[in-house]
Structure 1
C-alpha cells in the first residue's frame, strides 16, 4: 500500500522537437524502475503537427508534433503564446501537476515556465510549478537560441524552483545545457556519457535521481 504520508509527484512531460508524448514515454522507460514507480508521469503531445521533417523518422513512428514555430536561426518565434495557453488548459483539466519534465525543446520550454509564472505572464490559473527535471535541455537566449518575446525576463533572475538537469557528454546541447544551470539556484546535475537522449543510468546517477525525488515528495496537508 502507498505510504499514507505522501503521494507520487504528478509530472507533466514535454517532448522534444517534432516528436510526440508517446516517443518521450518510450525514452523515459529507460529510467530505473525504482524511479518510475515513485512518479506519476503524464505525457502531452504538443499542439501543432510538425511542419517539416522529424529527426526521428525511421526510428519512431509518426505522428510528430511541435510546440511552436521558429525562423531558421531561432531568433523569432510564432505561436508561443498559443502553446502556453494550450498547456495551461491541459493543466487545468488534467491537473493539478506538481512539476514539469522536459526533454530537448521540451526542456528548454520547461525551464522558462517558473519565471514566467512568477512574472504573471503565463500559467497564471494553475498552481506554481514546484520542481523541474530537464533532460538534454538548453537555454533560450544561449549561444544558439533567441528568446520568445513573452519569455524575455523568464531567466533574468535566478529560478528558486528545485531543478534536476541531465547533461550528456556527446550532446549537441551540452554547452547551452550547462549555461542554463546558471539560471537556477542550486541545480542538481546528472552527467552521463551519451548524447541527445535519455540514457540508462548508472548506480550513482540513480541515487542522485532518487534523492531528488525524495526532496520533491508531496506530503498531503503540507502543500502550498
Structure 2
C-alpha cells in the first residue's frame, strides 16, 4: 500500500488567495507565512496580492518591514463606517477572476476580517458573484466586520465552510477573534502565546494544521 505521502504528492493543491494586514503588503505577508514548515507550505498553492489602496498614514510595521504599504479599506475611529469598501470587494473579485479559480482564503488582521466576512457576503450575492464559492478559510488574528450594514449581511447565516483560526493570547483582537468563532460552524482553533502577529507553527499545532489541510484537500477533490 502507498504511504500517505504519495497521496500528498499527487493531490491537487488547494489554491489560496492570501490577504495581508492593514498598511502592510503581499511581500510582508509572504515573508511571515514562509516561516511555516515546508511540509505545510508545499501542500498549498498560495497566491499573495497587494491591497488596492496605498497606505494613507503611518504603518505599524515601519522600521520592521520595508515599504510600500497598502490598505484594503479605511474606517472611522469606532470601526463602524468604511471608505472604499465596495471598491475593495470588486478588486478582490477581479483578482480572483484573473489569478483563479481559488479554493479558499487566508487572511491576517484586516485581511482576516475580510476573508471571514466574504463567504457570507458571497452567499447574499453582495460580493464575489462571478467566482466559485469560497470553500475554506485560514484566519490569523481575525475579527468580525463592525459596520452594521456589512455585518448584518456577512453573518446573517453561520459561516459553514471549514475554517482554521489562530488566536494570540496577547493579541488586542483576541476577544473579537473569539467572537468570530461563534459565527463559524465547527471552527478549528489554534491558540498561541504571541500577540498580533503570524505565529510560527510548532510541533503541537502542526498536527492540527496538517489535519485541516488534508480535510480541505479532500473537499476540493470531491468538488472538482
> Structures share a fold, TM > 0.5?
yes
Higher helix share: 2
Residue 85 of structure 1 is matched in structure 2 by 90
CA distance in 2: counterparts of 1:157 and 1:99, whole angstroms: 19
Greater displacement, 3-12 / 114-123: 3-12
Q: Unmatched 5+ residue regions in structure 1?
A: 141-145
CA distance in 2: counterparts of 1:147 and 1:107, whole angstroms: 16
More relative contact order, 1 or 2 (CA 8 Å, 6+ apart): 1
Q: What is the TM-score normalised by the length of structure 1?
A: 0.93
Matches within 5 A, 1:1-224: 6-140=11-145, 146-147=146-147, 149-217=149-217, 222-223=222-223
Change in Cα spacing, 1:168 to 1:98, as seen in structure 2 (3 Å) is same
1:156-178 superposed Cα distances (whole Å, 9 cap, x missing partner): 22111100000011111111001
Contact 2:163–2:188 (Cα < 8 Å) also in 1: yes
1:127-150 superposed Cα distances (whole Å, 9 cap, x missing partner): 00000000011122xxxxx22634
Contact 1:6–1:219 (Cα < 8 Å) also in 2: no
Change in Cα spacing, 1:219 to 1:167, as seen in structure 2 (3 Å) is closer
Q: What is the TM-score normalised by the length of structure 2?
A: 0.93
Tell me the SS of whatever aligns to 1:183.
coil
CA distance in 1: counterparts of 2:61 and 2:221, whole angstroms: 43
Contact 2:144–2:151 (Cα < 8 Å) also in 1: no
Change in Cα spacing, 1:204 to 1:74, as seen in structure 2 (3 Å) is same
Q: Unmatched 5+ residue regions in structure 2?
A: 1-5
CA distance in 1: counterparts of 2:205 and 2:103, whole angstroms: 22
Would you identify which runs of 4 or more consecutive aligned residues in structure 1 move more than 4 Å? 1-5, 218-221
The number of equivalent residue pairs is 219
Change in Cα spacing, 1:201 to 1:82, as seen in structure 2 (3 Å) is same
Residue 143 of structure 1 is matched in structure 2 by none
